[in-house]
């Protein structure tokens, strides 16, 4: 066995040690618990980028040796020995580290230390990691657009704490205010670093108008952002119908004008002929 894990002989002290670790649950003849006794679970805290240390005890109260494998869940855990062989009536102390990833927002994280023997029997001990550091509330409203279902947008939590945000909506048209919704809580909480797509319903939007839309989102801790966009609503079906009717009327008027011009020309030609005949007749008398 590697020197990273310490094995202690317990021929006489084993009953006392087992009594000092009531949190350990039995699986066969061995148990697992935080080192030192008196702790029901592991607890550690630190800022992002730091590494915390602790030790897990694996106690074999049987007569035969036991081999267990250790791994962690929920948080980054690294053991000095992943596989440990514990002789009969012996306890092994296995150090391990918990790494707090860089950029982790403040708050509590939960995990477990898991031990499993060669027969598949497993025991777990809970681990709680508290990430310390300054709490920052910040958010942005992005990708604001008016769609067929309403006003679509995205909320991005750019702080280090979860946010319960509120939304206010204002829409102005050419002839006045169309929407004026006061701040109201949004149904979805925003975890740190999250991006959430939402849609604000607008079932009675105008068919013909030019609008300016403004969304304002606020959250406790001073987080606030406002996004704006503009849109024009045009009933293209009606416009196409009017344009078609106008084209038809224009064509009818053009045909009518050409008809009038032709009739006027024919009338002018008919009147000239008698004048010519009269001139010729007058010349003959002279």
Q: Are 183 and 168 in contact (CB under 8 A)?
A: yes
Within a domain: 259: no
Do 145 and 127 lie in one domain? The reply is: no
Say whether 21 sits in a helix, a strand or coil.
Answer: coil
Within a domain: 116: yes
Do 106 and 80 lie in one domain? The reply is: yes
How many CB atoms neighbour CB 4 within 10 A?
13
Do 150 and 46 lie in one domain? The reply is: no
Do 127 and 158 lie in one domain? The reply is: no
d(CA 270, CA 266): 6
Residue 10 has pLDDT above 60, yes or no: no
Enumerate the β-bridge partners of residue 6: 93
Within a domain: 39: yes
Within a domain: 273: no
Do 110 and 167 lie in one domain? The reply is: no
Query: Which residues span the domain enclosing 32?
Result: 6-131
Residue 55 has pLDDT above 70, yes or no: yes
Rounded to 5°, angle at Cα 248 from 244 and 251: 140
Residue predicted with more confidence, 33 or 261: 33
Which domain-ending residue is among 79, 97, 131? 131
Within a domain: 145: yes
Which DSSP category does 273 fall into?
A: H
- Banded model confidence at residue 234, pLDDT cuts 50, 70, 90: confident
Within a domain: 254: no
Which domain-ending residue is among 233, 252, 278? 233
Within a domain: 182: yes
Q: Is the dihedral of CA 258, 262, 263, 267 positive or negative?
A: positive
The fraction of the chain above a pLDDT of 70, given in percent, is: 72
Within a domain: 256: no
Q: What are phi and psi of 263, to 5 degrees?
A: -65, -40
Residue 228 has pLDDT above 90, yes or no: yes
pLDDT in the model for residue 263: 57
Non-local (6+) Cβ contacts of 127 within 8 A are: 41, 42, 43, 44, 72, 74, 75, 77, 98, 110, 111, 112, 113
Non-local (6+) Cβ contacts of 196 within 8 A are: 154, 155, 156, 188, 190
162: closest CA among 198, 127, 186?
186
Do 67 and 124 lie in one domain? The reply is: yes
Which domain-ending residue is among 218, 233, 248? 233
Do 143 and 121 lie in one domain? The reply is: no
Do 112 and 148 lie in one domain? The reply is: no
Do 164 and 80 lie in one domain? The reply is: no
* 69-121 per-position pLDDT tens digit: 999 999 999 999 999 999 999 999 999 999 999 888 888 999 999 999 999 99
d(CA 117, CA 11): 22
**Count of domains for the chain:** 2
The CATH number that applies at residue 168 is 2.60.40.10
Average pLDDT, the chain: 82
How many CA atoms are closer than 13 Å to the CA of 7, on its beta-carbon side?
16
Do 40 and 117 lie in one domain? The reply is: yes
184: closest CA among 152, 157, 216?
216
* 17-46 per-position pLDDT tens digit: 444 444 333 447 999 999 998 899 999 999
Do 44 and 155 lie in one domain? The reply is: no
pLDDT in the model for residue 5: 62
pLDDT in the model for residue 26: 40
């Amino acid at each position: 066995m590697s020197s990273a894990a310490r094995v202690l002989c317990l021929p006489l002290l084993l009953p006392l040690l087992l009594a000092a670790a009531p949190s350990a649950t039995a699986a066969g003849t061995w148990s697992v618990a935080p080192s030192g006794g008196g702790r029901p679970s592991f607890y550690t805290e630190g800022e992002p980028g730091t590494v915390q240390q602790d030790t897990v005890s694996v106690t074999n109260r049987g007569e035969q040796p036991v081999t267990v494998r250790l791994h962690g869940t929920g948080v980054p855990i690294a053991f000095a020995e992943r596989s440990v062989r514990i002789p009969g009536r012996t306890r092994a102390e296995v150090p391990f580290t918990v790494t707090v990833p860089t950029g982790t927002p403040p708050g509590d994280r939960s995990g477990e230390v898991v031990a499993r023997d060669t027969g598949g029997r497993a025991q777990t001990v809970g681990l709680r990691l508290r990430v310390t550091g300054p709490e920052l509330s910040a958010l942005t409203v992005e990708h604001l657009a008016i769609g067929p279902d309403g006003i679509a947008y995205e909320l991005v939590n750019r702080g280090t704490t979860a946010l319960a945000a509120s939304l206010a909506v204002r829409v102005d048209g050419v002839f006045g205010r169309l929407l004026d919704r006061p701040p109201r809580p949004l149904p979805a909480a925003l975890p740190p670093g999250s991006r959430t797509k939402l849609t604000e319903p607008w079932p009675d939007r105008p068919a013909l108008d030019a609008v300016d839309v403004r969304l304002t989102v606020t959250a406790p801790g001073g987080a606030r952002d406002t996004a704006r966009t503009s849109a024009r609503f045009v009933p293209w079906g009606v416009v196409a119908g009017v344009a078609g009717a106008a084209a038809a009327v224009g064509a009818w008027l053009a045909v009518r004008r050409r008809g009038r011009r032709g009739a006027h020309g024919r009338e002018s030609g008919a009147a000239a002929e008698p004048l010519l005949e009269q001139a010729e007749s007058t010349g003959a008398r002279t």
